[in-house]
C-alpha cells in the first residue's frame, strides 16, 4: 500500500459509505447533544453496525480507504472498546484482500493472571495503525499512543469511519482546529477517514430527499466547521 487512489475514487467510496450508514441506521438526523455540549443535527453511532453483515460491509469500506490512502503500517491496534471489533474486522478483510497484518487490542483493566497485562494479540512493533470509529477529542488516541510507545512501537496512523470536521473544545471553549487536525498536525499521525462532513453534505445535497437534513447540517458546519 504505497500509492494513493485518485480523489474521485475516494469521493465515490465516501458517498457509498454515507448511504450505507444511513441505510443501516448508524447515521441519523434530528437533534443530538455532543460531548462538547453542542446540539448537532446528525449523529453517527458505529455501535449500530450490530450484525455480521453490517460489520463485514463496514470492514470493506475501512480496507478500501486504507488501500486507497497508500498508508504503510506493520500492526493493527484496536483500542477498547469500539476499536476491538473494528480492528479485528478490518484485519480479516485486509487478509481476504491479500494484505495480512498482525492485530492487537487492549483491555481497560490489566489482567493479573494468565498472560497478564493490558495488551492482547500480536506484539506491538514497527509502525502501528490505530482503528477506531471517530476522533472526538483526541483523548483515546493519546491513550493509544502511550500504550504503543510503552511497548516500544511507533504510533503511525489512525483509521476512522467519519471525520466530523468541526472545531474541538479546550477548557470549554471552541478552538480553531478539529480533533482530527490535532492528531495529524500536533501528534504527527496520519489520519485516514472513510468519509468526512464535506462529503456527507455532498451526498445530502443530491436531490430533494435529504434537503431538510442538508440545510440543517450545512448551518451546523457554517457555525462549527473547519476544513
* Nearest in space to 131 (alpha carbons), one of 150, 110, 109, 106: 106
203 given a catalytic annotation: no
Question: Residue 104: beta bridge partners?
Answer: 77, 121
Whether the Cβ atoms of residue 41 and residue 30 lie closer than 8 Å to each other: yes
Rounded distance, CA 219 to CA 80, Å? 34
Rounded distance, CA 218 to CA 212, Å? 10
Which one of 111, 125, 167, 209 is the catalytic residue?
111
113 given a catalytic annotation: yes
Pairing of strands 75-78, 103-111: parallel
Rounded distance, CA 175 to CA 173, Å? 6
CA trace torsion 191, 196, 198, 201 (10° rounding): 180
- For 13-33, b/e burial (b = at least 16 CB within 10 A) is bbbbbbebbbebebbebeeee
Which one of 35, 108, 113, 209 is the catalytic residue?
113
C-alpha cell at 105: 487490542
Coil vs helix vs strand at 175: strand
Peptide bond into 12 cis (omega under 30): no
Residues designated catalytic: 111, 113
Amino acid at each position: 500500500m504505497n500509492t494513493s487512489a485518485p480523489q474521485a475514487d475516494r469521493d465515490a467510496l465516501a458517498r457509498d459509505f454515507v448511504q450505507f450508514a444511513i441505510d443501516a441506521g448508524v447515521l441519523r438526523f434530528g437533534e443530538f447533544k455532543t460531548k462538547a455540549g453542542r446540539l448537532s443535527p446528525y449523529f453517527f453511532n458505529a455501535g449500530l453496525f450490530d450484525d455480521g453483515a453490517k460489520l463485514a460491509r463496514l470492514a470493506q469500506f475501512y480496507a478500501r480507504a486504507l488501500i486507497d490512502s497508500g498508508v504503510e503500517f506493520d500492526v493493527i491496534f484496536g483500542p477498547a472498546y469500539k476499536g476491538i471489533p473494528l480492528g479485528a474486522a478490518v484485519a480479516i478483510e485486509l487478509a481476504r484482500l491479500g494484505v495480512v497484518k498482525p492485530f492487537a487490542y487492549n483491555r481497560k483493566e490489566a489482567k493479573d493472571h494468565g498472560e497478564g497485562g493490558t495488551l492482547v494479540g500480536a506484539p506491538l512493533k514497527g509502525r502501528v495503525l490505530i482503528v477506531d470509529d471517530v476522533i472526538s477529542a483526541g483523548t483515546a488516541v493519546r491513550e493509544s499512543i502511550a500504550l504503543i510507545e510503552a511497548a516500544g512501537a511507533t504510533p503511525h496512523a489512525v483509521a476512522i469511519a467519519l471525520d466530523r470536521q468541526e472545531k474541538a473544545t479546550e477548557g470549554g471553549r471552541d478552538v480553531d482546529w478539529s480533533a482530527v487536525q490535532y492528531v495529524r498536525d500536533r501528534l504527527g499521525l496520519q489520519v485516514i477517514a472513510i468519509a468526512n462532513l464535506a462529503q456527507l453534505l455532498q451526498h445530502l445535497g443530491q436531490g430533494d430527499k435529504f434537503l431538510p437534513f442538508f440545510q440543517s447540517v450545512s448551518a451546523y458546519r457554517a457555525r462549527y466547521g473547519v476544513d
